[in-house]
Amino acid sequence: MSHLDATERSAQVAVDRPATSTRDVVKAYAALTKPRIIELLLITTIPAMFLAQRGIPPLGLVAVTLVGGFFAAASANVFNCILDRDIDQQMRRTRRRPMARHEVTPENATIFGGILGILSAVVLWAGANPLSAVLALTANAFYVFIYTLWLKRSTSQNIVWGGIAGCFPPLIGWTAVTGSVSLTPILLFAIVFFWTPPHTWALAFRYREDYKAAGVPMLPVVMSAPKVALRILLYSIATVAVSLAVWPVAGTGWVYPAVAGAAGAVFLIEAVLLLVRARAGKTDAELKPMRLFHWSNSYLAVLFLAAAIDPVIFG
C-alpha cells in the first residue's frame, strides 16, 4: 500500500468517525440545519413584514415569525441532508456535512428534523396565524418530497421548480402581518423564483464535475456553457423586471426603485459578462461563475433591505 493510499484510508476513517463530545454533537446537529442557507431565507422574510406593515411591524411578531421560519427551514434542510447523504459523500462542497461523515445517524436526524417541523408549525400557528403555519409546512414538504426526492436527481430543471420552496419566506412574512395574500407578496415570491436558477447554476458551474460524478443532472452538467450562461442571463432579466414591478404595485417611495435599479444593473452586467466569457470558449476556471454567485447573494440582500427601509421612511 502506498503512502498516499494509507493517508487517504486514515482520512476516511477520520471522516467516518461519529461525533462523541457534547460540543461535536451540537456542532453536527447545527450543521444539519445549514445555517448559512437559512440566513438567506430569513433575509427575505423580515423585509416582507416591513412592507406589509408599511413601517416597523410589532417586534414580538417579527421574533415569532423568524423563530418559526427558522425551525421550518431547518427541518427541511435536515431531511435534505438525510436523503442526499449519498450525493454529499461524493462532492467536495458537501462531503464534510454531518450525514456524509456519519456523525449523526439517519434515525436521530429524522427525529430531529421532525421535531423542528412540528415546532415551526406550533410557533407560527400560535404566534402568527394558521395561514403562515400552513405556508411553512407546504414549503417544507415541497423541498423534501418534490425537490429532494423527485426533481433533483431526475431533471436538469430541478432547481427551477424545486427552488419554489425557497420562495415561501416572503409569503410567510407577509401573511404573518396581514393574514392574507395579495399581489405584492406574490411578486416578492416571483423575485426569488427567477433569482434562484442564475444563483444556483453559477454555483453548479463551479462544481460541475462533482455533480456529474454524483449523477445529479444540474444544467451545467447536461448543457454547454454558452447555453447555460444564456439562460442565466434570461432569468436574471426576469428577476430584475419583477423586482421593479414591486415599485408601482406596492406603492413604495424612491429608495426601493433606486436600489432595485442600481443593484439590478450590476446583476445583469455580471450575467452578460459570464455569457461573453462562455461564448469565448473560456475554461471553467476562466468563466469565473462565482463572481455572479457571490453577487447574486448580495443582490438579494440589498434588494430586500431596500424593501424594508423604504416603508419606514415613506410609510
Note whether residue 252 is domain-resident: yes
For range 201-226, the mean pLDDT: 94
Task: Give residue 19's pLDDT band: very low, low, confident or very high (50, 70, 90).
Answer: low
Note whether residue 107 is domain-resident: yes
**In this structure, what C-alpha cell is assigned to residue 15?**
471522516
**Based on the domain organization, do 167 and 189 belong to the same domain?**
no
Residue 8 has pLDDT above 70, yes or no: no
**Based on the domain organization, do 151 and 99 belong to the same domain?**
yes
Note whether residue 96 is domain-resident: yes
pLDDT of residue 284: 78
- What's the CA gap between 312 and 233, in Å, rounded? 33
- Which residue stretches of the chain are H helix? 3-15, 22-32, 35-53, 59-83, 85-88, 106-127, 130-141, 152-154, 158-162, 168-178, 183-206, 208-214, 219-222, 225-250, 255-279, 284-287, 289-314
Least reliable range by pLDDT among 36-45, 240-249, 304-313? 36-45
Note whether residue 10 is domain-resident: no
Note whether residue 48 is domain-resident: yes
Note whether residue 6 is domain-resident: no
Last residue of a domain, one of 180, 211, 230: 180
Task: Give residue 207's pLDDT band: very low, low, confident or very high (50, 70, 90).
Answer: very high
**Based on the domain organization, do 312 and 198 belong to the same domain?**
yes
Task: Give residue 6's pLDDT band: very low, low, confident or very high (50, 70, 90).
Answer: very low
**Based on the domain organization, do 208 and 252 belong to the same domain?**
yes
**Based on the domain organization, do 56 and 86 belong to the same domain?**
yes
**Based on the domain organization, do 68 and 152 belong to the same domain?**
yes
CATH number of the domain bearing residue 228: 1.20.120
- What's the CA gap between 108 and 104, in Å, rounded? 7
Last residue of a domain, one of 180, 199, 232: 180
How many domains does the chain fold into? 2
**Based on the domain organization, do 209 and 154 belong to the same domain?**
no
Note whether residue 235 is domain-resident: yes
**Based on the domain organization, do 253 and 157 belong to the same domain?**
no
**In this structure, what C-alpha cell is assigned to residue 126?**
400560535
Last residue of a domain, one of 120, 148, 180: 180
Query: 190: domain range?
Result: 182-315
Answer yes or no: pTM beyond 0.75: yes
pLDDT of residue 39: 81
CATH number of the domain bearing residue 125: 1.10.357.140
**Based on the domain organization, do 166 and 26 belong to the same domain?**
yes
Note whether residue 1 is domain-resident: no
